[in-house]
Amino acid sequence: MKRAVILLWCWVAPLAAQTVLIKMGTVAPDGSPWHQILQHMGQQWQKVSGGKVTLRIYPGGVLGDEPDMITKMRIGQLQAVALSGSGLSRLEPAVACLQIPMMIESYEELDYVRDRVAPRLEKLLDEKGYVVLNWGDAGWVHFFTKTPARRLDDIRKMKLFTMAGDADALELYQSAGFRPVPLATTDMMPALQTGLIEAFDVPPLLAMLNQWFGLARHMLDIRWTPLVGATVVSKKAWERIPESMRPAMLEAARGAGLRLRTEIRKMGDDAVAEMRKRGLNVITVDGPTLAEWRREVEEAYPKLRGRLVPAELFDEVRRLRDEYRAQRGKKS
């Protein structure tokens, strides 16, 4: 009998050892489109791995804000995290090149630029110990405020939410005359309720899903920057997966990222219409005011270049953007 048990254990143990659990965190709300992307990816992984790889997702910031989850990934409590551009920049500062304020004006420009710089960014992240599973975006960042705002000076007078933990960004905001209040994203609602902050900048879909707009009912209709993101897994965890499975799993992850891209972008536009029905005041600006915004922002580019964004990548993004616009102009 003992021999039979030992033989059974010797047969089962190698199978158990082949099973890999990937625990992944995200601040994306439970049931949101971004959460659905990760769920779809997990289903595909189960399929292509023959059930040997399981993805367990912790949505809604239940494991903390992005800096908290990055720490958990570094010490092995999590194996993967779906991050916004701000979180990604903590892993590799070069990612900030995709979120330079008012540099990119359309999704077409974003796709053109990102497709060409992504291999370089992925290599840099790989050198830091992370594998990029897919890229995504969450829409255009807009300013939401408790009182109406049209100009940058209006925003400067308000207590503005900024992501906690980024000392360089905080100093730049302060030097530009803003009143930044560094907080965790998970603290946004109580901060709005207590008056700790009076303004924040996020995509409309996030403002609606998290109900933040209910406490800041004015949205400035200026595209500040696209909110990019990516799903990353630690190389240590990735290399626990049999090498023969990784290409198919990576392809499934990339497919999941692309699957809902168009839908999510449309949902961002739909979110504005839905919030308007619930009392959101969308503030449009005239041509001269928009030009004033661009002038002020571009005057700040020298402070960003080489500090928050590596100079070479800052220049490359601007070159690619201009290249796309030139090509579009020829076609039209």
Tens-digit pLDDT profile for residues 132-154: 999 988 899 999 999 999 999 99
Amino acid at 290: L
pLDDT over threshold 90, residue 13: no
CATH topology of domain 19-331: D-Maltodextrin-Binding Protein; domain 2 (3.40.190)
Give me the pLDDT at residue 264, please.
83
Give me the pLDDT at residue 8, please.
41
Q: Which residue has the higher pLDDT, 249 or 15?
A: 249
Q: Which residue has the higher pLDDT, 8 or 172?
A: 172
Q: Percent of the chain at pLDDT above 70? A: 94
b/e map 299-328, b = 16+ CB within 10 Å: ebeeebbebbbbeebbebbbebbeebeeee
Query: Tokens 């400067």 map to which residue?
Result: 156
Give me the pLDDT at residue 4, please.
43
b/e map 128-166, b = 16+ CB within 10 Å: eebbbbbbbbbbbbbbbbbeebbebebbeebbbbbbebb
Distance, in Å, from the CA atom of 167 to the CA atom of 36, rounded to the nearest integer, reads 33
Cβ(218)–Cβ(119) under 8 Å? Answer: no
CA distances from 105 to 8, 109, 223, 224, 248 (A): 62, 7, 7, 9, 34
CA distances from 280 to 218, 290, 302 (A): 6, 21, 35
Band of residue 331 on the pLDDT scale cut at 50, 70, 90: low
Q: Where are the domains of the chain?
A: 19-331
Q: Percent of the chain at pLDDT above 90? A: 74
Tens-digit pLDDT profile for residues 179-195: 999 998 889 999 999 99
Band of residue 79 on the pLDDT scale cut at 50, 70, 90: very high
The chain-wide mean pLDDT, for the chain, equals 90
Distance, in Å, from the CA atom of 123 to the CA atom of 142, rounded to the nearest integer, reads 31
Tens-digit pLDDT profile for residues 209-235: 999 999 999 999 999 999 999 999 999
Give me the pLDDT at residue 33, please.
84
pLDDT over threshold 80, residue 200: yes
Distance, in Å, from the CA atom of 167 to the CA atom of 243, rounded to the nearest integer, reads 39
**Which of 5-19, 67-81, 262-276: highest mean pLDDT?**
67-81
Give me the pLDDT at residue 16, please.
41
Contacts with 320 (C-beta within 8 Å, 6 or more apart), sequence order: 112, 113, 116, 117
Distance, in Å, from the CA atom of 137 to the CA atom of 310, rounded to the nearest integer, reads 21
pLDDT over threshold 70, residue 14: no
Helices 261-277 and 33-48: angle between axes, nearest 10 degrees: 150
Band of residue 246 on the pLDDT scale cut at 50, 70, 90: very high
Helix (H, G, I), strand (E, B) or coil at 56: strand
Global pTM reads 0.87
Band of residue 37 on the pLDDT scale cut at 50, 70, 90: confident
Cβ(101)–Cβ(297) under 8 Å? Answer: yes
Look at the chain and count its residues: 332
Band of residue 18 on the pLDDT scale cut at 50, 70, 90: low
Band of residue 267 on the pLDDT scale cut at 50, 70, 90: confident
Amino acid at 245: M
Residue 274 is encoded by which pair of tokens?
Answer: 């839905």
